[in-house]
């Protein structure tokens, strides 16, 4: 029964006006300005990987090894996304 309560709460949250007020502009932007959204995502991923690389260099890894390790240490999603960039 615990799962039912969680599912029903999620449905209620998806139906509340606040949810749509927040998500509708984002979805419209994704639909009509796809190249800009892709570019923004690419920049965000690149920035994340650069920061992770800098952290590894500060810990004593060589820049090359830190660069190779950054995507794998960031999780499968970032590694997958960085491969598609």
Can you give the pTM of this predicted structure? 0.55
Q: Is the pLDDT of residue 34 over 70?
A: yes
Residues 69 and 56 sit within 8 Å (Cβ to Cβ):
yes
Residues 79 and 45 sit within 8 Å (Cβ to Cβ):
no
Please indicate whether residue 19 or residue 66 has the higher confidence score (pLDDT): 66
Calculate what percentage of the chain has a pLDDT beyond 70: 68
CA angle 73, 78, 81 (to 5 degrees): 145
Calculate what percentage of the chain has a pLDDT beyond 90: 34
Q: Is the pLDDT of residue 79 over 70?
A: no
Residues 52 and 70 sit within 8 Å (Cβ to Cβ):
yes
Domain range list for the chain? 1-32, 34-85
Please indicate whether residue 17 or residue 15 has the higher confidence score (pLDDT): 17
Predicted pLDDT at 59: 96
Rounded Cα distance between 66 and 77, Å, is 18
């Amino acid at each position: 029964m615990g799962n039912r309560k969680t599912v029903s709460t999620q449905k209620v949250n998806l139906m509340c006006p606040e949810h749509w007020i927040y998500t509708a502009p984002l979805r419209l932007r994704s639909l009509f300005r796809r190249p800009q959204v892709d570019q923004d995502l690419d920049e965000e991923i690149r920035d994340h990987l650069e920061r992770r690389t800098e952290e590894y260099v500060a810990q004593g890894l060589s820049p090359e090894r830190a660069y190779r390790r950054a995507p794998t240490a960031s999780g499968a999603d970032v590694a997958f996304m960085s491969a598609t960039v």
